[in-house]
Amino acid sequence: MDNQAMSERSLRHVWHPCTQMKQHASQAVPLVPVSHAEGVWLYDFDGHRYLDGISSWWVNLFGHNHPAIRAALVDQLGRLDHVMLAGFTHQPVVELSEQLAALTGLGHAFYGSDGASATEIALKMSAHYWRNTGRPGKCRFVGLAGGYHGETVGALAVTDIAIFREAYAPLVRLAATVPSPDARTAQPGESAADVAQRAAGALEAWLAEHHHETAALIVEPLVQCAAGMAMHDAGYLRRVRTLCDRYEVHLIADEIATGFGRTGTMFAHQQAGIRPDFICLSKGLTGGTLPLSAVLTTDTVYDAFYDDETARGFLHSHSYTGNPLACRAALATLALFSGNDVLAHNVVLAQTLDQAFASLTGHARIRHARRLGMIWAWDVDTVLPHFAQRYHQHAMAQGVLLRPIGHTIYAMPPYVMDEESAAHLAHGALAALQATLAEEERHHG
Ligand SMILES: *Cc1c(COP(=O)(O)O)cnc(C)c1O
């Protein structure tokens, strides 16, 4: 089986996500069949390898085929594959919930399979909390401009990305949107902290008017990843916590992309020293091996559901809630954090990558070069149509997987890069930019 044959079979029967399938019909945008992966490398059927510079859509932390995670999964397969979690429990889900409680200070974990289902769970739990506490009118939500929280119909209500939402507008009960604290929107003379204060002021004005009908504010702490790695000052989260307390509105921290060390701390909200009412986790939770999501919440929320009456309970479920294999993968991932000083290692690794990326960062067509933890982003000054797609193609030709969002190139590599792979990634990222800009020149010449 080679790339060509596998692509043809795939295109006949697999409907690929986030894809206009017709674009694969021409060889302009070839599908990439992956036969196996090891560490930071993906291998296709024709023997090419690609450095996974975006951790396979932000899920991978310690490289592919990690021996410790694989061993845990093999062991778990020999014990218990799956059992329903209603009326039953098992060691992996108990231990994982204990560890997540210790890591976050939020002592109750509810499980789903994907990030979007975690969003659904948090929204439903918040509104149901207010209903159970005698305030059923608090059932609307507010999010940030450019926010992304998943694409199921409920999650789309708080996802402010037009292309994902437009076709489904009639299905969605839209949440309110307040300005993003995106530091790139600074006016001349304004700092990131000033932008944060300005955005918090807009939230305050909105809450003052609408808090009676508002259940929760949902935010991606420190980095709005899908918005193009829009980063903001931690002071925003402190102001938000104060405002949510004052106006009795839950604060949901969507750490699906930012969790597990990605921003430099285990969870991004910890950089602001705040405690959210809900934390959504997924993506890195299993080290990128199996789908699993979790919503963590407080005793206060939990207690509001604890009652003699069944209907006051949280009667939400998914068939694979708390799947033992996925929980074991998560435990093996957390063990890699506790057995190694991953956050300190990443500080040093990030410096190596900063140096490797210096030519890209200093390129004349780059605006707003930025980094937080293990997330790098560069906005490109370009008018080339389909820039993101063209850049991605050129990067693949260089043996690196990078997929810009709009005009923003970003890297979110696994935490196991070495000097050689850092150099390969940085070289590929710069060469792809040069090739894309050369194409732009031909396009306009
Ligand atoms: C990816 C993502 C989601 C959705 O997760 P899925 O597993 O893709 O449904 C939600 N919120 C944030 C911040 C994300 O980055």
3-state secondary structure the chain: CCHHHHHHHHHHHCCCCCCCHHHHCCCCCCCCCEEEEEECEEEECCCCEEEECCHHHHCCCCCECCHHHHHHHHHHHCCCCCCCCCCCCCHHHHHHHHHHHHHHCCCEEEEECCHHHHHHHHHHHHHHHHHHCCCCCCCEEEEECCCCCCCCHHHHCCCCCHHHHHHHHHHCCCCEEECCCCHHHCCCCCCHHHHHHHHHHHHHHHHHHHHHHEEEEEECCCEECCCCCEECCCHHHHHHHHHHHHCCCEEEEECCCCCCCCCCCCCHHHHHCCCCCEEEECHHHHCCCCCCEEEEECHHHHHHHCCCCHHHCCCCCCCCCCCHHHHHHHHHHHHHHHHCCHHHHHHHHHHHHHHHCHHHHCCCCEEEEEEECCEEEEEECCCCCCHHHHHHHHHHHCCEECCCECCEEEECCCCCCCHHHHHHHHHHHHHHHHHHHHHHHHHHC
What residue ranges do the domains of the chain occupy?
32-65+341-443, 67-339
Angle at 305 between CA 285 and CA 325, to 5 degrees: 25
**Ligand 1 test: best mutation among 56, 57, 113, 149, most atoms within 8 Å of CB?**
149
Residue nearest to atom 5 of ligand 1 (CA): 115
Phi, psi of 367 (to 5 degrees): -120, 150
Question: According to CATH, what is the number of the domain 32-65+341-443?
Answer: 3.90.1150.10
Distance 152 CA to ligand 1 centre (A): 10
Report the topology of domain 67-339. Aspartate Aminotransferase; domain 2 (3.40.640)
Residue nearest to atom 10 of ligand 1 (CA): 149
Is 317 annotated among the ligand-binding residues?
yes
The atom of ligand 1 lying closest to the CA of 220 is 13
Q: What is the pLDDT of residue 27?
A: 72
Is 254 annotated among the ligand-binding residues?
yes
Is 115 annotated among the ligand-binding residues?
yes
Distance 335 CA to ligand 1 centre (A): 23
Is 79 annotated among the ligand-binding residues?
no
Residue nearest to atom 15 of ligand 1 (CA): 257
Distance 173 CA to ligand 1 centre (A): 19
Residues with CB under 6 Å of ligand 1 are 114-116, 119, 148-150, 220, 225-226, 254, 256-257, 282
- CA 372/CA 263 separation, integer angstroms: 5
Name the CA radius of gyration of the chain, rounded: 22
Q: What is the pLDDT of residue 445?
A: 64
- CA 327/CA 333 separation, integer angstroms: 10
The atom of ligand 1 lying closest to the CA of 254 is 13
Is 238 annotated among the ligand-binding residues?
no
Place of tokens 């009960």: 173
Q: Which two tokens stand for residue 265?
A: 């701390």
Residue nearest to atom 8 of ligand 1 (CA): 115
The atom of ligand 1 lying closest to the CA of 255 is 13
The atom of ligand 1 lying closest to the CA of 116 is 9
Distance 57 CA to ligand 1 centre (A): 9
Q: Could you read off the pLDDT tens digit of each residue along the chain, which spans 445 residues? A: 899 999 999 999 999 999 999 999 877 789 999 999 999 999 999 999 999 999 999 999 999 999 999 999 999 999 999 999 999 999 999 999 999 999 999 999 999 999 999 999 999 999 999 999 999 999 999 999 999 999 999 999 999 999 999 999 999 999 999 999 999 999 999 999 999 999 999 999 999 999 999 999 999 999 999 999 999 999 999 999 999 999 999 999 999 999 999 999 999 999 999 999 999 999 999 999 999 999 999 999 999 999 999 999 999 999 999 999 999 999 999 999 999 999 999 999 999 999 999 999 999 999 999 999 999 999 999 999 999 999 999 999 999 999 999 999 999 999 999 999 999 999 999 999 999 999 999 987 6
CATH topology identical between 32-65+341-443 and 67-339: no
Is 373 annotated among the ligand-binding residues?
no
**Residue 405 near residue 388 (C-beta atoms within 8 A):** yes
Distance 252 CA to ligand 1 centre (A): 14
Q: Which positions ≥6 away from 102 have C-beta within 8 Å?
A: none
Place of tokens 């059923």: 136
Q: What is the pLDDT of residue 29?
A: 85
The atom of ligand 1 lying closest to the CA of 117 is 9
Is 262 annotated among the ligand-binding residues?
no
Distance 17 CA to ligand 1 centre (A): 13
Q: Which of 30, 22, 25, 39 is nearest to 2 (CA)?
A: 30
